[in-house]
Structure 1
Amino acid sequence: MIIKRHLIDPSVGSKGYFHINLSVENSFWDKNDVSDIAVFEKYLAEKRDEHQSYVAHGGYLEQRALYRKNARFQSGITRDVHMGIDLWAPAGSSVHAVMDGVVHSFAHNDDAGNYGPTIILEHDWNGQKIYSLYGHLSISDMAGWEVGVRFRESEKIATLGTPQENGGYSPHLHFQVMTNMRDYRGDFPGVAAQEELASYENMILDPNPFIFTSI
């Protein structure tokens, strides 16, 4: 695996990327609370040492115990399948545009367990429109956002937020790619129930090929 595009500060990313498993299949989370930031940060530090790399990533279509502990994802139907990819790095790390695009919309999704500050870019990609979502950012970045403003590939668009502003999570970027925004602005579902996945087929793309090249 090699990095095709750095979404996280290249100086941090130069220390290497490694995959992290937050799925219900990881028995570590049977006895440890993944939603506890201190527990998660300790686990993350141990994995960084183990892999001798720094930026943890993963999560596309991963079924996570994390969401089963949050009432936000338990309203009538259990939503626990993660539809984007997460990249963990320290708060304040810069976040960069995946490709040339313009600001479609942005919002501060500030209820507990949500994205916090979120920006969505619109792109022309292989003759079709696609949209990239960047969630869990810093509130201070929002002052520089404006609908229609263009960002070039790899240009800095934001920084990672703290748990106090990013929805209550260990600092990370939620990155997601959509082909249709439906009627959403500044937001788009990032977690779904198993029985909802078919309705997102061809609408939410695998984000990994936009970031990594397999070797």
Structure 2
Amino acid sequence: MTSTLFSQFIQSLSQSFLPVVDSNFINEEYTFIDLSIGNKKLEVMDVSSSKAFEAYISEYLVLNNAKVAYGGYNETRGIYNRSKHFNQQDPETERNIHLGLDVWCDAGSAVLAPLAGTVHSFQNNKNFGDYGPTIIMKHIIQDVSFYTLYGHLSVKSIENIKIGERFEIGDVIAKLGDASVNGDYAPHLHFQIIKDLQGNIGDYPGVSNKRDLEYYLENCPDPNLLLKI
């Protein structure tokens, strides 16, 4: 299946807003947030501080009369410069282009299955600035096999989960972690759709460099095609 057909297939799987966090949040309570290098407000904030970032997100939600912020797909960000896990000297290989959709809300918020599927793998990715606890789900719908990734979870989310465990649409599969376990970020969910997992277990790149971006955008379509926030 070509990348265009796969994107169209993902878009066809939902007809309206499909929550991936706490179902008490209605679509009208979401607001888009820009965390790109073009956001001048981030230039005067200590983006290396998870506390400062959490305060920025909280203030942004209040100013926009919202409870959840979302965005980030194919967004070039400066916030990864603080971590050696992403930062490189070569601008072509520096990983700073985001491949998933981030959903920013409180630690402890429920993470929901937007599609029925089974647990493919899970892992605590402990690098500074990494996902922290992560779950990857496998889906087979209309004979099409693909994956969804859920990053920045609580440690408890992966303590009792089992490979092959099945979840239906709307089931709680995890809870969001706080900065002490989630890679040192303000609490949020990194949600990513992946066509070919390339043999990865419990992990998959969520940030690309310029050199590899075309491949990753084809392999990881915009998650909002499915969620329709």
TM-score between both structures, scaled by the size of structure 1: 0.93
- Structure 1 residue 72: Cα displacement: 1.1
**What residue in structure 1 maps to residue 132 of structure 2?**
116
Matching residue's letter, 1:24: I
**What residue in structure 1 maps to residue 164 of structure 2?**
148
* SS of alignment partner, residue 68 of structure 1: helix
The answer to which structure has the higher strand fraction is: 1
Going from structure 1 to structure 2, the CA distance change for 1:3 and 1:171 (only over 3 Å counts) comes to farther
In 2: Cα distance, 1:201 partner to 1:166 partner: 24
**What residue in structure 2 maps to residue 102 of structure 1?**
118
Counterpart contact for 1:79–1:192, Cα < 8 Å: yes
CA offset digits 1:24-47 (Å, max 9, x no partner): 011112222223222222221221
- Structure 1 residue 15: Cα displacement: 6.9
CA offset digits 1:53-108 (Å, max 9, x no partner): 11010000000010122211124531100000100111111001110001111111
Counterpart contact for 1:13–1:55, Cα < 8 Å: no
Alignment partner of 1:21 is 2:34: yes
In 1: Cα distance, 2:139 partner to 2:109 partner: 24
2:144 to 128, 140, 143: 128
1:89 to 102, 105, 118: 105
In 1: Cα distance, 2:25 partner to 2:144 partner: 32
2:74 to 61, 80, 93: 61
Going from structure 1 to structure 2, the CA distance change for 1:13 and 1:164 (only over 3 Å counts) comes to farther
Alignment partner of 1:41 is 2:54: yes
In 2: Cα distance, 1:195 partner to 1:14 partner: 35
In 2: Cα distance, 1:124 partner to 1:7 partner: 18
- Structure 1 residue 144: Cα displacement: 2.3
* SS of alignment partner, residue 60 of structure 2: helix
2:218 to 180, 199, 202: 202
Segments of structure 2 that go 5 or more residues without pairing to the other structure are 1-14
* SS of alignment partner, residue 7 of structure 1: coil
- Structure 1 residue 142: Cα displacement: 1.2
In 1: Cα distance, 2:121 partner to 2:18 partner: 22
Paired positions, count = 212
* SS of alignment partner, residue 105 of structure 1: strand
More off after superposition, 19-28 vs 194-203: 194-203
In 1: Cα distance, 2:184 partner to 2:58 partner: 19
Counterpart contact for 1:15–1:54, Cα < 8 Å: no
* SS of alignment partner, residue 140 of structure 1: helix
- Structure 1 segments (4+ residues) deviating >4 Å: none
In 2: Cα distance, 1:74 partner to 1:31 partner: 20
- Structure 1 residue 13: Cα displacement: 4.5
Equivalent pairs: percent with the same residue? 37
- Structure 1 residue 8: Cα displacement: 0.7
**What residue in structure 2 maps to residue 162 of structure 1?**
178
Segments of structure 1 that go 5 or more residues without pairing to the other structure are none
Counterpart contact for 1:162–1:170, Cα < 8 Å: yes
* SS of alignment partner, residue 205 of structure 1: coil
